Amino acid sequence: MTSSDTALAHPITEDDIANFLVHNPEFFERHAALLASVQLSSGLAGRAVSLQERQAELLRDKNKALEQRIVEMMRHGQENSAIGEKMQAWSRQLLLAAQPQDIPGVITSELQKQFLIPQAAIKVWGVDAAYAELAFACGVSPDAQAFASALSRPYCGPNKGLEAVRWLPDAVSVQSMAVIALRAGAAPKAFGALVLGSADRERFQSDMATDFLQRIGELASAALSRLRSAVPPSLD
Instruction: Report whether 151 contacts 190 (CB < 8 A).
Output: yes
In a domain, 167, yes or no: yes
Helices and strands: H and E segment counts in the chain: 8, 6
Global pTM reads 0.67
**pLDDT one-digit tens code per residue, 216-225:** 999 999 999 9
**pLDDT one-digit tens code per residue, 177-201:** 999 999 988 778 999 999 999 999 9
Q: How many C-alpha atoms does 87 have within 13 Å on its Cβ side? A: 15
Q: Is the pLDDT of residue 176 over 90?
A: yes
**pLDDT one-digit tens code per residue, 91-123:** 999 999 989 999 999 999 999 999 999 999 999
What CA–CA distance (Å, rounded) separates 7 from 85? 69
**pLDDT one-digit tens code per residue, 13-40:** 888 877 887 788 777 667 766 666 666 5
Domain of 190: which CATH number? 3.30.450.40
Instruction: Report whether 182 contacts 148 (CB < 8 A).
Output: yes
In a domain, 55, yes or no: no
In a domain, 126, yes or no: yes
In a domain, 51, yes or no: no
pLDDT given for residue 43 in this prediction = 57
Mean pLDDT of the chain: 84
What CA–CA distance (Å, rounded) separates 236 from 226? 20
In a domain, 82, yes or no: no
In a domain, 124, yes or no: yes
Q: Is the pLDDT of residue 151 over 80?
A: yes
Reported confidence tier of residue 9, pLDDT bands at 50, 70, 90: low
What CA–CA distance (Å, rounded) separates 55 from 86? 47
More confident residue, 7 or 154: 154
In a domain, 9, yes or no: no
Strand segments, DSSP code E, in the chain are 39-41, 48-50, 119-124, 155-158, 176-182, 192-198
What CA–CA distance (Å, rounded) separates 205 from 201? 8
pLDDT given for residue 234 in this prediction = 40
pLDDT given for residue 32 in this prediction = 64
Q: State the greatest distance between any 2 C-alpha atoms of the chain, in Å, as a whole number.
A: 101
**What mean pLDDT is predicted for residues 200-227?**
93
The domain of 161 spans 97-228
pLDDT given for residue 219 in this prediction = 95
Q: What Cα–Cα distance (Å) separates residue 121 from each residue in 39, 117, 183, 184, 199?
A: 67, 11, 16, 19, 15
Coil vs helix vs strand at 159: coil
**pLDDT one-digit tens code per residue, 39-79:** 656 555 556 556 667 677 778 888 888 888 887 777 767 77
Count of domains forming the chain: 1
In a domain, 176, yes or no: yes
